[in-house]
Structures are given as C-alpha cells and as structure tokens.
Structure 1
Amino acid sequence: MTIIEKIIANHSKFDNVKPGDIVDIEIDARAARDFGGPNVVKHIEKNNLTIDDVNKTLFTFDTNPTGSDQKYAMNQQIIRVFARKHGIRIFDIDNGIGTHSLISEGYSYPGSTSLTTDSHANILGAIGSFGQGMGDKDIAAAFHTGKVWFKVPKSAKINLIGNRPANVTAKDIVLNLLNRFGANSLLSYSVEIYGEEVDKFTLDERITISSMGTEMGTIIILFTPNQEVMDYCNAATGRKLEPVVADADAEYAEVFDVDLSSFVPMVSLPGKPHDAVNIVQAKKTKIDSAFVGSCTNGRMEDMWAVANVLKGKKVAPGVVLKIVPTTNDIWDECLDEGLIKIFKNAGAMVSNAGCAGCAAGQVGQNGPGEITISTGNRNFPGKQGKGSVYLASPATVAASAVAGYITTYDDIPDEPAVFTEEEHEEKMKVAQEAETQSEQKSSVIEGRVWYIKEDNIDTDMIFHNRYLTITDINEMGQYTFDNLEGYEDFPTKAKPGDIVVTHKN
C-alpha cells in the first residue's frame, strides 16, 4: 500500500484499503479555528452532542490573533466559554497558526490523522501525517464520534531527479512543481515525493512544499520522514514513533520523474498560484509592499533567510515590509537570536504570530493598485486584498523590499528604485477608480442557470475571508460571490433553485 492507504487502513477496521473505498477512520487530532469554531459549537449544542475525547480535541485562534475585530472577538469568546465548560484546550490569540502547533505540540505526528477547519491542514503531509480541512458539520461530527468517513484517494509519485541548484529554495521547488502540474493535473490525488535530495529536505522546507498541495489540487503532499523529522516529532510527543512508509510494491496511478536540477528561482504572477514563471520574467517590476509569513513561509529558516538579506540594509523608500512569524515560539526565537532587531533596523513592521495576510483585516492585506510580493500560498484576486500579489520565496521577498522592485537576493542594487511623480499619479488614479467602479452585469443563460466562465473558483471567490466572522447561515447568502469580479450582484439577482455552472476545478 501507499502511505495514504496505510494511514487510512491503520485508523480503520480494515487491514488493507484501495482507492475508491469509503472508510470510517479514527481521527487523532480534531481541531477548529476561530472562524469555523463557533459553528462547530452551535452544531454540538443544538444537537446535544457530547465530546468523544477532550484530550484529542482543541481550538486554535489564528485567523484573527489580534482579536481586533468585534465579530471575531465575539466568536473567540463563544469558543472560550464552550471550551471551559468541556475542558478543551485552546491555542489562543497569543499562539500562532494552528496546523503548526499541531506539529510542535505533538498532536500530529508521522502516521497520525488530523482534521481542522483549515483548508491547508494537508500541510501535515510534511511529517508523513494525514491532515485534512473540512466543514464545521464534519468537524462537529469528529468532535462527537472521533471518526469521519473518507474516500481513499488515488496516489501519485513524484521522483525528483538530479541535484538541487544552490539558489533554489523550497518555495522555488513548489512553484516549479506548480508550473509543471498546474492546479488540475493532480486533482484529488495523494502525492508522495521522493529523491536523494528530497531526503535532505529540512522540516521547514517540507512544510513549505506540503502547504501548497492545496494550490496544486492535491488531497495532500506526503513525505517519508527523515531522521530530523522523526527526532523532532519524538521530542514533541515524548515517545518513540515509527514512520509509515510505502510498500516496495505499492501501486501508484501516476509516476512522474522530474528533473530537479533544471529548477530555477520562480514567482507566481498575480491571480493564480500555478501561473508560476522564471523570476527573470518579473524582474524589475516595482512593488509597493512586501509580506513574509503565512503557514507556507513563516518558519525559523524563513526568518533567517530574510534576516540574512536585510542585515545592514534598509527597506526601499515608499515600500512597506510586513513580517509575521508562524508561531509565538518562532517569534520568541527571532527575539532571542536578534532577528527582530535586524528586521526593525531595516524598517520592517513585525506583527504577532498568526495567519496574517491570508485573513482579511490583518497584517499583509493590500489596497487597490498596490503591488505586493508575498511568501503566502495564494494570490487569487481579493485573497490578500484588492491589489496585485506575486508569490515568491522569503529571500526574494526581502531582496525585493530592499530593491524596490522584484529581484533575487544576489542581485540587489546599490540604490533602490523610487516611484516617479507620474507613477504616483497613476496609482492614485487606480485607487480612486476602484472606489467608484460600478458593478458589472453577470452572464446568465436561460434564467435559472448562472454560467461562470472561470476555472478554479476558490472559496474566497465564493465567500470571501472578510466575512468569516459571520456564523449565522441566514446572513451568509448576501455575500455570495462578493469577491468574484462581475458577479458581485449575484445575491440580489439569484432566485431559489438557481444553478451555478463554472469551468473545471
């Protein structure tokens, strides 16, 4: 069996499973965040459900770690009261991103299963663990029964052949893979990555790559843990663990040999993470802001990469650099190691740990006409604000912040770029037009069918993250497609029974 098949079998009543089987599986860690958590609480209380095992159940406050939004503050307090009543642990607003805490606190470990309301729970594939994001009703069921059903996915294997170029980071690797496979080629596959160089990948590097499995359309990207990962997880759990390894005769639906030595530093162009190109195609593009953080690139190795670029340098005039460590432990380590001082001396703004730019209202959002280079995992329109977002590695983001335009760490100019008066006026014009732009009419076919001619309609287009504080389903409908250009008026025109048809996803 493959890794995913073994993990599912180990958590079910079956000795063997195969793709297509629908299986009830035991969940080792059951978590809900501060946007999905209140609905989990509502489902449990409305249906008088009990908690199966409080020691395997937890809440994480990472989408609004500042508690600065009134609705978020209300939702967080709803969860706190519920958690106190049932003795459930909360990783509160001072903690950071929940999926990373699942690893560092030993809730998730090689061979384990975890569920959260986070769409990037498959980040746990970095340690050879099965993690999935699910809706609040599924999470409520897991809180109550300790189990969920799951359809065993097909598995694919990617062999990275050759030596890794010295200037290629983990973020560059996953962007090269996105360029190769796009958002649909591996749709609904469990992907395992192998290779001599892969065995050397650090935990932080594996996290970066696995965290963008969602953007590749995969169920999960799994790595076989190396000794570094096993040592880390043994320490986190306080026990000796055994990794789950695919059988030598495991059957894969697809096998790909990919030349790692051909990989180059990359950026994703605004709008689509898989629209990744050689960075030379975007070089010299002037930027307004830069962001380092997210569940993809806010780890300690990422912080060091940024510090090594910024030390002794200044952020370009007119550019804002925002840095958000993934967890409070990483924030503290940055402080202890002197990195916070380096960041501040360079002119960066450092915020407390959390999801940051991926959640509306937090550090990392941008405005109309603003060009941002970010270490995040998504740059769909509206995801990180109303501006344009390029995705890149931490070193590239830091170098670009110093240069004032997109560049690599080994090509930072002696003098930063500055905006001309004409460029300032053009940006002001874009921002003003965004304020007054009238709504566009939608394209409707025969009354009852809405045909949206777009691939990969993501959750932020359907229901934008700025509305995640709304937990009453009766209020949600008015914001449907609010972030999908040309369909902002959908809620006012849709009728009961209408069907929405889109392109592939």
Structure 2
Amino acid sequence: MGMTMTQKILAAHAGLDFVEAGQLINANLDIVLGNDITTPVAINEFEKCGANSVFSKEKIILVMDHFTPNKDIKSAQQCKRSRDFANQYGISHFYDVGTVGIEHALLPEQGLVGPGDCIIGADSHTCTYGALGAFSTGVGSTDMAAGMITGKAWFKVPTAIKVILKNKPNPYVGGKDVILHLIGKIGVDGALYQSIEYTGDGVAALSMDDRFTIANMAIEAGAKNGIFPVDEKTLEYCKDRYQGDLQVFEADADAEYTRVIEIDLAALKPTVALPHLPENTKTVQEAKGLKIDQSVIGSCTNGRISDMRLAAQILKGKRVAEGVRCIVIPATQDIYLQCLKEGLAQIFVEAGAVFSVPTCGPCMGGHMGILAEGERAVSTTNRNFVGRMGHTDSEIILSSVAVAAASALTGVITDPNDLD
C-alpha cells in the first residue's frame, strides 16, 4: 500500500521511509507560526517549561494581525508581550504595524512557506499553505510553545479524502464556491482529522489564489489539512520568492483514501453559506434577495490582489446601496500598495466603501466591522458561527468576492451574473 501526499511529507520530516494512517510520529518542523492572540499564551507555556532558548531564530514567525493597529489596552499588551519575546530571542520574522499583513496571505507572499514544508501555526487556518503542496496545520498554543523550543511536533498520521476536480469554472465561480460546495456536500465534520487531497485536470484551471482559498477552509470541514499537487503554477509562484529548499512530493498510485469525491467545476454556481454553519450552503440563486446591512471583502481567505481587482471591477462606476456598509480589507501591505498603484483604492472609496489597513479585525469579531443585534452581513471570510462577527443575534452569510461586491451594490444577496 502506498502513501498519500500528506503521508509522504510527514514521513520525510519524521525521518521514516513509510508511515500509515493512525501512526504517531515526531516530525521536524520547518515553520512555527503565532499571532498576537495565540503567541502570548505560547510564551507563558514556554516560560513555564523553564525554556531559555528557541530552536531557530529564522523558523519562528510572529505576526501581529488580529487586533492591530491595537484597538484597546489588552490588545496593546498582547502585542508588547510578543514584541518583547521577539526582541529577547532575536526572532527574524516579526511582523508588526507597518510591515504586518494577515498571516496566511503574508507568509506565502514573502516566500516563507513552500512545497514540501511541514508547518504548524497557532491559528486554525494555517492549513492555507497546503495550496503550495506543504503539510500545514493549526495547533494550540501549548504545541506552539513546544515547537518553538524543540523544532518538533507530534502528529497522528491522518487518513485522506481524494477530491477530483474536473473541467473549468464559469465566470464568477472561483475557489470560494468550490470549497463552500464541498463543505455543503460533506458537512463541517465530514473530513474530521483527515487530509483533503485535491487532484484532477481541474486543478490546472484554478489560480494560486483560488487554491489558497480552498486550502484555507479545509478546517471548516474538520480536516487536519488540505493539500494541492505541485504543478507549473505552483513552481511559477515560488520562483524567485520561496526562501526554503523546495521539495515536491506526490501521492502513490496505490495510496489509500477513505472516500473519493468528484466535483465538476463547470457545473458549479456561485455559492453562499447561510447562518450559522459553513455547511449550510445554497446557490446564490436560491439565496438571492436576503437583505444585508454590511459587506466585508477581505480576510486570509479572500484578501489577495486578485480579490481586490475583482471587487473593483464590479464596484467601478457604481455606488454601494444606501444603508449598506462595505468594508474592503487588503490582506498585506504589498497588496494595499498595489491597490493604490492600480487605482483600486480610489474605486472603492468613490463607490462608498471604506478601504482598511490589513487586519483580521471583523472576521473574528475583533474590530473594524462588528455587527449589532439583528444585523446581517455578507462576508468573504471563512466562518459564520453564532456571534462570530459581533452580537449573537447577528447573522453572517459567507460568499465569494463577486457575490459580496454585487450584494453591496443592491443591498440584498445578489448573483453577480445578474448585474451584467
């Protein structure tokens, strides 16, 4: 019996020729990631252990993205705690105001993660880097602390689901629609502690940004990780960018999967997830007409430059509906600057939207877009749990950028194809 792509990466990092599902291994880590919420907790555990050194100054990455620029005294204290730790131990990759970006867009952009890497992060959407053919997964702050000290982490080798993607998507159908369709099909626990491994001719039809979006939301199906094969688009993305030693792993032809799912990209429609779970999916045509109070375009799921360009394409020369708050958040400083250079920021402001600095703010109900009771938002973020973006009596509809932008113009959930 052969190994899946994920199993091969884990075997290599554990120094083993072969691993099988359910096996416990101790793997060497390429990256240990933390943010301004999880890092202070990890530092507490680090100090409780009596540790006085880190395994690598270059392989620990701390990104102050959730509550920055600091919204209150508590968030300022969390960042200071992280900043002091980074200074004490000479952490090379510490990202703060002025250099910060949303972590899961920032790390690929800066070439800090790449094919074949084994990555843990004290944030559940660390699985994003599977788009590059890496094994990456979210962990708790205690595991982050152990990783910072030892450069290792324990894993139970996961089983896997194979998702075969076929054909090419139609206009206004992208990575967000693919992953929402999949989660709607298998449920929020449909891939519990499994690897979701994508394959098929349809992979080539997806941009790297589409793949980042799909891998990012693997956790919303309960998965340990999501992972894409390394192809020409991956290698082109990594060229002159990725700072590590690129390693390409492929699943064996006789690798074992718990199930195989086929998705015809050509048959997909723009899709949304209604409150209060990502599995509560409908096509936009089924959900259209629902009134919204706010539209959020951004996050680690959909805040990249292609997302900004698509939003601007739809909003250009038009006006956000009266009574709707439209918030546009580029995911990194580089994307922010590119929006300025291309005139996208001007399009957003002239359309009546607000153009924000990079932040996770509204996605997890932190700041920059909190909902009051009775309000409903359409959002390109990744979770729509009760109270996720504010009051427990508010509602979140997850969507693609195209749907969020179109809905901002009409004040109701709208199929972007209906605007043409």
> Aligned residue for 1:38?
40
Q: Secondary structure at the match of 2:220?
A: coil
Contact 1:288 1:370 in 2 (8 A): yes
Cα deviation digits, residues 133-187 of structure 1 (max 9, x gap): 1111111110000001100000111112344233422211111111211112222
Contact 1:157 1:255 in 2 (8 A): yes
1:105 to partner: Cα distance = 2.1
Give the root-mean-square deviation of aligned CA atoms.
1.5
Cα–Cα, structure 1 residues 155 and 343, in superposed 2: closer, same or farther, change >3 Å? Answer: same
1:267 is matched with which residue: 254, 269, 272? 272
> Aligned residue for 1:52?
55
> Aligned residue for 2:417?
410
1:34 to partner: Cα distance = 0.5
Structure 1 CA distance for aligned equivalents of residues 178 and 244 of structure 2 = 32
Structure 2 CA distance for aligned equivalents of residues 334 and 163 of structure 1 = 28
> Aligned residue for 1:346?
351
Contact 2:21 2:159 in 1 (8 A): yes
Q: Secondary structure at the match of 2:181?
A: helix
Cα–Cα, structure 1 residues 351 and 112, in superposed 2: closer, same or farther, change >3 Å? Answer: same
Contact 2:62 2:95 in 1 (8 A): yes
Question: Aligned ranges for residues 364-383 of structure 1 at < 5 Å?
Answer: 364-383=369-388
1:248 to partner: Cα distance = 2.2
Structure 2 CA distance for aligned equivalents of residues 55 and 105 of structure 1 = 13
1:239 to partner: Cα distance = 6.4
Decide which moves more: 74-83 or 256-265: 256-265
1:398 is matched with which residue: 370, 393, 405? 405
Structure 2 CA distance for aligned equivalents of residues 257 and 404 of structure 1 = 35
Contact 1:403 1:412 in 2 (8 A): no
Structure 1 CA distance for aligned equivalents of residues 176 and 148 of structure 2 = 34
Amino acid at match of 2:27: I
Q: Secondary structure at the match of 2:249?
A: coil
> Aligned residue for 1:67?
70
> Aligned residue for 2:342?
337
Structure 1 CA distance for aligned equivalents of residues 130 and 170 of structure 2 = 24
Show structure 1 runs of 4+ deviating over 3 A.
none
Amino acid at match of 1:207: F
Structure 2 CA distance for aligned equivalents of residues 167 and 37 of structure 1 = 37
1:238 to partner: Cα distance = 4.5
Give unmatched runs, 5+ long, in structure 1.
Answer: 414-505
Give unmatched runs, 5+ long, in structure 2.
Answer: none
> Aligned residue for 2:80?
77
1:301 to partner: Cα distance = 0.8
Contact 1:91 1:98 in 2 (8 A): no
- Structure 2 residue 216 is matched with structure 1 residue 214: no
Cα–Cα, structure 1 residues 192 and 337, in superposed 2: closer, same or farther, change >3 Å? Answer: same
Question: Aligned ranges for residues 132-281 of structure 1 at < 5 Å?
Answer: 132-238=137-243, 241-281=246-286
Contact 2:131 2:215 in 1 (8 A): yes
> Aligned residue for 2:110?
105
Amino acid at match of 1:396: V
Cα deviation digits, residues 298-322 of structure 1 (max 9, x gap): 1111111100000000101111100
Cα deviation digits, residues 174-223 of structure 1 (max 9, x gap): 11111211112222110111121212211100011111111111111110
Structure 1 CA distance for aligned equivalents of residues 97 and 275 of structure 2 = 30
Cα deviation digits, residues 305-340 of structure 1 (max 9, x gap): 100000000101111100111111111111111100
Structure 2 CA distance for aligned equivalents of residues 389 and 360 of structure 1 = 11
Structure 2 CA distance for aligned equivalents of residues 54 and 200 of structure 1 = 38
Structure 2 CA distance for aligned equivalents of residues 301 and 285 of structure 1 = 27
Question: Given the two structures, how large is their TM-score scaled by the length of structure 1?
Answer: 0.79
Decide which moves more: 157-166 or 393-402: 157-166
Q: Relative contact order, CA 8 A, sep 6+: which one is greater? A: 2
Cα–Cα, structure 1 residues 208 and 92, in superposed 2: closer, same or farther, change >3 Å? Answer: same
Contact 1:171 1:392 in 2 (8 A): yes
Contact 1:5 1:17 in 2 (8 A): yes
Cα deviation digits, residues 216-236 of structure 1 (max 9, x gap): 111111101221221222322
Cα–Cα, structure 1 residues 55 and 166, in superposed 2: closer, same or farther, change >3 Å? Answer: same
Structure 2 CA distance for aligned equivalents of residues 2 and 28 of structure 1 = 20
> Aligned residue for 1:502?
none
Q: Secondary structure at the match of 1:407?
A: coil
1:20 is matched with which residue: 6, 19, 22? 22
Structure 2 CA distance for aligned equivalents of residues 352 and 244 of structure 1 = 37
Q: Secondary structure at the match of 2:58?
A: helix
Amino acid at match of 1:91: Y
Q: How many residue pairs get matched? A: 413
Question: In terms of Rg, which structure is larger?
Answer: 1
Q: Secondary structure at the match of 1:363?
A: coil
1:384 to partner: Cα distance = 1.1
Contact 1:104 1:233 in 2 (8 A): no
Structure 1 CA distance for aligned equivalents of residues 348 and 173 of structure 2 = 23
Q: Secondary structure at the match of 1:101?
A: helix
